[in-house]
Structures are given as structure tokens and as C-alpha cells.
């Protein structure tokens, strides 16, 4: 069993083992984004506005738990390091959390159903925090080499995209294999719970932490949570990250309704999502290559342009277009989505280096706490926005009846106000968010050349190389430009 080993060379096997943790990071969030609101309205029987409100309430807890976990993981001291003990805890917790999250309770009282959903989502959100905050922090500490980091974090997104594909295609396939959808959801939750949990046991056993532990422990202080936001580089990264994921999550939350009630092709949902995500998965190596070749910000613009084209097309498609057109649009959206969600995570470790320069110590846990919080905020905001719009538009939840000991769900035709709302959600909101992301990306200052100089300054400050006049001048300029 491997603990903290700052000087051990990163092997491909170790890098890929660590990257496999994003099977959970990408897949579980995708299942929630695509299917959870529909699960709550059509299986649990909650009104979309109430379901969305429950998810929004949980963000109050996230605002506390995410920064708290950042400080806890920064302060953890063990024979295995600061991050890895939490992965062993997470191995067991993920399975339980997934089962509870997708348990289709059938209480007669709506308040009881709402209370259970709130409890299960809060528990799931807490488990995600316990795992993903240390995991995100360790992604900046598994190597200090620029290209090794790109390999690890690019591989993370490759695993994430693969898991996203499986999470989009398989859940409803598993559920539909059972005559009773309730049993189908139980089996689906257990299968994916085990699938998401296993990588963290592997990381605990295989991977090294390569940044020395600071001698002084941090105190929990809400100011530590907001401290990374003092950095201009990090604020711009958060704007890019939150905008891109919120855009993706809104389209994801509404898409199952869109395919069912507007395009009238519900049975093709998994195939359309599969097309989008297969393209996304295949293009992750291209994102890494362009980030290394052109720079991360420049490559980001290329994918934003493709994403814009996809959004424009999906906002115009209707039932009169050829059947194959939705698959072409899905492929175009897949290209844009890949760069939009992969690139910010490739940028993230570099920004934690800026934090070390400015703050005088490495507090990756605080950075990752914010990243985890904003990622969960994105998913919750998407469900809240879509749910409230559908509620206001008059969405009619299906009727559930027990027939022959089996649960039968009967859907209604939706009013025209719901159909119009679906079209507005996939067109207007994503275009606005794309503008925000473009604005932030234009101002992102950290280039590859600046990062090389930054690493040299950090090596001097850690005592790994002697001071030179150039390093002193670089330190002052880097703080001015990046902070």
C-alpha cells in the first residue's frame, strides 16, 4: 500500500488508475442530469417545481460541506497521505448513496416522499463531497510536470466521458429489462454503485501523493473557502467551468422531455445520447493534443465555436426534419461539449500553482472544494431552472397504477405551453451561457509559457533550485498578471 512519495516517478499505470476515479465523477452526475428530474416527476410522483426546489435546498448544505471538506482533507495526516484515506471511506459510501438516491418510494403522503428525496439527495451529495474534494485536490498533486498533468487530467476526462456514455445509455435499458420499474431502478442503482466505487479502492492501493505535506494545519474558516476567489485566474476559470457545465446540465435535464414530448421519439433517447457521448469520448485525446499544441485557452475557443453551431441547430430542429438530422446534431454537440467540459479541468491544476505562489502554501483542498461546489451547483441549478419552468408551463405528471402486482405508468399529452417551454430551454438559455463562457475565456491569462516560468519560481520557493535575478523578476510579474 502506497502513501505519500513526492519523488516517485509517475507511471502510466498509476496515472490511469488515478484517472479511473472519474468514472464516478462523470457518470453519476450524468445520470442525475439526464434522468433524475424525470425519475422524481414520473416515478416518485412529485411535481417538477417541488422536485427542483428539493435539489436547490440541498445546495445550502453544499455551501458548508464542500469548503469544510477542503479544510479537512488539507489537514488530514495519515500513513497514506492527506487524500487517500477518504477514498477507502468512499468505496462503501458510494454504493449505499446510489441505492438510496434511486429508490422509487411510493408513500401515499407527498410530504413523506419529498422528505425522503431530500434526505437521500443530501446523503448522496455529502458522499460526493467526501470523495470528490480530495480527489480533485490530488489531481493537482499526483505530478508537478506540465505534460504528465495533462496526461492524468486528460485521462480523467476520458474515463469521465466513457462513464458518461454508459450512464446515458444503460440506466433506462436496465430498468426496462424488468417488468416492474421499481425493481429495475433497484438493480440499476446497485450495478452503477459498485461500478463507481471500485476505482477508489484501486486508487487507495496504487497511487502516490507527490506534494510534501505542509507542517502547519489550516483552521476551518469561511474565508479559506473564498480565498481562492481572490485570484483573477481562478475566477475566470470558475466562470468558464460553471457556464459550460450549466449549459450542458440544462440541456441534459430537459432532453428526455424534449425527445418525448416535442420530437415524439422517446424510444430513440438512448441512441441520440449515445451518439453525442461516443463522439465526446473519442475526441478527448484531440482536446489534450490541442491543449498541448495550441494552448488551453486557444483550443477552448475552437470547441466553443462548434458548440455554438450545435446549439443553433438543436434550437431549430422539428418533427419535419429528416430522422437522421438529430443524430448529426448530437455528433456536433458532442464535439463542442468535449472541449467545453474537458478543458477547464485540464486548466485547474495550473491555477492551484498560482495559489501556491500567491498564498505561500499549497491549499489544493480549498480550490477543489470550490470546484466541487460549483459542479454540484451547476447540476442543481439546471434541475431547478428546468423544473420551475415546466411547473409554470403546466407539466402534467403521469398516473401510476398497480396492475397485477406491477407498477404501470401512464403518460399524458402535454399542453402547448410545455412544448414551447421545452424549445425555449434548449435555445435561449444555452446561448446566453455560451456568451458568458466566451467572455471569460478571452480574459484567461495563464499560458503555457507563463506556467513554465511559474513552475521555476515555485521550485525556488520550495528550495529545489537557487535564486536568480530572472526568477525574482518573474515572481513579481507573475503575481501581477495572474493574481
Do 337 and 454 have their domain in common? Answer: no
3 domain-assigned? no
Strand, coil or helix: 406: strand
216 in a domain, yes or no? no
pLDDT in tens, the chain (483 residues): 455 555 567 788 888 888 999 999 888 988 988 899 999 998 998 999 999 888 888 777 876 787 788 778 877 787 787 888 899 988 999 999 999 999 999 888 999 999 999 999 999 999 998 998 888 888 777 777 767 777 887 788 778 878 988 998 899 899 988 888 889 999 999 999 999 999 999 999 888 777 666 656 666 666 766 788 889 999 999 999 999 989 988 988 899 999 999 998 988 988 998 898 889 888 888 888 888 888 888 889 999 999 999 999 998 999 999 999 999 999 999 999 888 888 888 888 888 888 888 888 777 767 877 887 787 788 788 888 999 999 999 998 888 776 666 666 677 788 999 999 999 999 889 999 999 999 999 999 888 888 888 888 888 887 777 777 777 787 788 888 887
Q: Is 428 within the bounds of a domain?
A: yes
Q: Assign residue 65 the CATH number of its domain.
A: 1.20.1250.20
Tell the residue number behind the cell numbers 440541498, with chain if given. Answer: 58
- Those residues with Cβ within 8 angstroms of residue 86's Cβ, 6 or more apart along the chain or in another chain: 73, 76, 130, 131, 134
| Phi, psi at 408, each rounded to 5° | -115, 130
Helices (H) then strands (E): counts for the chain: 17, 2
Looking at the structure, tell me whether residues 272 and 309 fall in a common domain: yes
Judge if 442 and 466 occupy the same domain: no
Q: Estimate the crossing angle of helix 364-393 against helix 325-359, to 10 degrees.
A: 140
Asked if residue 219 belongs to a domain, the reply is no
Helix or strand or coil: residue 43?
coil
Rounded to two decimals, the pTM is 0.77
CB 438 within 8 A of CB 474: no
421 and 304 in one domain? Answer: yes
Q: Could you tell me which residues are beta bridge partners of residue 407? A: 402
Which residues share a beta bridge with 402? 407
Query: What pLDDT is stored for residue 219 in this prediction?
Result: 63
Same domain, 179 and 286: yes
Same domain? For 250 and 389 the reply is yes
Same domain, 403 and 468: no
Predicted local confidence at residue 408, as pLDDT: 67
Block residue for cell numbers 500500500: 1
| 319 lies in the same domain as 437 | yes
Which pLDDT value is given to residue 222? 67
Which structural domain, as residue segments, surrounds residue 266?
Answer: 12-207+225-446
Q: Are residues 351 and 453 in the same domain?
A: no
Q: Say yes or no: 254 and 360 in one domain.
A: yes
CA distances to 142, 158, 166, 320, 363 from 137, rounded to whole Å, are: 9, 19, 26, 49, 8
pLDDT score at 1: 46
Nearest Cα to 372, choosing from 177, 235, 238? 238
Q: Do 402 and 482 sit in the same domain of this protein?
A: no
Task: Give the whole-angstrom CA distance, residue 383 versus residue 32.
Answer: 9
**CA 236, CA 71: separation in Å to the nearest integer?**
23
Tell me the CB-side half-sphere exposure of residue 75, using CA atoms within 13 A.
Answer: 12
Residue 119 lies in a domain: yes
For residue 160, tell me if it sits in a domain.
Answer: yes
Cell, residue 435: 456568451
* Same domain, yes or no: 476 and 440: no
E strand or H helix that includes residue 361: none
Give the integer Cα–Cα distance in Å for 9 and 13. 11
Name which of 90, 64, 52, 18 is nearest 373 in CA terms. Answer: 64
Is position 302 within any domain? yes
Q: Distance between CA 41 and CA 433 in Å, rounded?
A: 26
CA 402 to chain CA centroid, nearest Å = 37
- Listed in sequence order, the DSSP H helices in 37-109 are 37-42, 48-75, 85-101
Would you say 113 and 105 are in contact if contact means Cβ atoms under 8 Å apart? yes
pLDDT number for residue 283 = 86
Count how many domains the chain has: 2
Sign, CA torsion 437/441/443/444:
positive
Q: Do the domain assignments include residue 7?
A: no
Q: What is the DSSP letter of 411?
A: P
The alpha carbon dihedral of 29, 31, 33, 38 has a sign of negative
Amino acid at each position: 500500500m502506497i502513501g505519500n512519495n513526492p519523488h516517485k516517478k509517475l507511471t502510466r499505470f498509476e496515472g490511469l488508475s488515478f484517472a479511473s476515479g472519474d468514472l464516478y465523477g462523470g457518470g453519476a452526475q450524468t445520470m442525475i442530469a439526464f434522468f433524475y428530474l424525470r425519475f422524481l416527476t414520473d416515478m416518485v410522483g412529485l411535481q417538477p417545481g417541488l422536485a427542483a426546489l428539493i435539489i436547490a435546498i440541498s445546495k445550502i448544505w453544499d455551501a458548508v460541506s464542500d469548503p469544510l471538506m477542503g479544510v479537512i482533507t488539507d489537514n488530514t495526516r495519515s500513513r497514506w497521505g492527506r487524500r487517500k484515506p477518504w477514498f477507502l471511506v468512499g468505496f462503501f459510501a458510494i454504493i449505499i448513496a446510489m441505492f438510496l438516491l434511486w429508490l422509487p418510494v411510493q408513500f401515499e403522503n407527498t410530504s413523506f416522499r419529498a422528505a425522503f428525496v431530500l434526505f437521500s439527495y443530501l446523503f448522496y451529495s455529502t458522499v460526493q463531497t467526501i470523495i470528490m474534494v480530495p480527489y480533485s485536490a490530488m489531481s493537482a498533486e499526483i505530478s508537478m510536470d506540465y505534460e504528465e498533468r495533462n496526461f492524468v487530467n486528460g485521462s480523467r476526462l476520458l474515463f469521465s466521458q466513457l462513464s458518461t456514455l454508459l450512464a446515458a445509455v444503460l440506466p433506462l435499458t436496465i430498468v426496462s429489462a424488468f417488468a416492474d420499474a421499481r425493481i429495475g431502478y433497484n438493480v440499476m442503482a446497485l450495478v452503477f454503485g459498485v461500478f463507481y466505487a471500485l476505482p477508489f479502492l484501486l486508487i487507495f492501493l496504487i497511487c502516490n501523493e507527490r506534494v510534501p505535506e505542509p507542517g502547519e494545519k489550516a483552521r476551518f474558516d469561511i474565508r479559506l473557502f473564498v480565498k481562492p476567489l481572490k485570484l483573477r485566474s481562478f475566477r475566470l476559470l470558475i466562470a468558464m467551468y460553471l457556464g459550460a457545465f450549466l449549459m450542458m446540465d440544462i440541456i441534459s435535464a430537459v432532453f428526455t422531455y424534449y425527445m418525448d414530448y416535442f420530437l415524439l421519439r422517446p424510444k430513440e433517447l438512448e441512441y441520440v445520447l449515445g451518439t453525442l457521448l461516443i463522439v465526446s469520448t473519442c475526441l478527448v485525446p484531440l482536446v489534450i493534443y490541442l491543449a498541448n499544441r495550441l494552448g488551453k485557452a486557444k483550443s477552448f475557443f475552437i470547441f466553443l465555436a462548434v458548440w455554438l453551431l450545435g446549439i443553433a441547430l438543436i434550437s431549430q430542429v422539428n418533427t419535419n426534419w429528416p430522422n437522421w438530422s438529430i443524430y448529426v446534431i448530437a455528433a456536433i454537440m458532442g464535439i463542442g461539449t468535449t472541449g467545453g467540459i474537458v478543458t477547464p479541468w485540464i486548466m485547474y491544476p495550473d491555477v492551484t500553482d498560482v495559489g501556491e505562489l500567491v498564498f505561500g502554501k499549497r491549499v489544493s483542498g480549498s480550490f477543489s472544494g470550490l470546484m466541487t461546489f460549483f459542479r454540484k451547483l451547476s447540476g442543481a441549478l439546471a434541475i431547478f431552472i428546468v423544473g420551475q419552468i415546466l411547473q409554470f408551463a403546466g407539466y402534467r405528471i403521469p398516473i401510476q397504477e398497480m396492475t397485477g402486482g406491477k407498477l404501470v405508468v401512464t403518460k399524458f399529452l402535454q399542453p402547448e405551453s410545455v412544448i414551447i417551454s421545452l424549445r425555449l430551454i434548449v435555445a435561449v438559455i444555452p446561448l446566453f451561457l455560451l456568451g458568458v463562457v466566451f467572455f471569460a475565456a478571452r480574459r484567461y491569462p495563464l499560458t503555457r509559457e507563463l506556467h513554465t516560468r511559474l513552475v521555476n519560481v515555485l521550485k525556488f520557493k520550495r528550495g529545489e533550485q537557487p535564486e536568480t535575478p530572472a526568477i525574482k523578476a518573474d515572481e513579481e510579474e507573475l503575481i501581477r498578471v495572474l493574481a
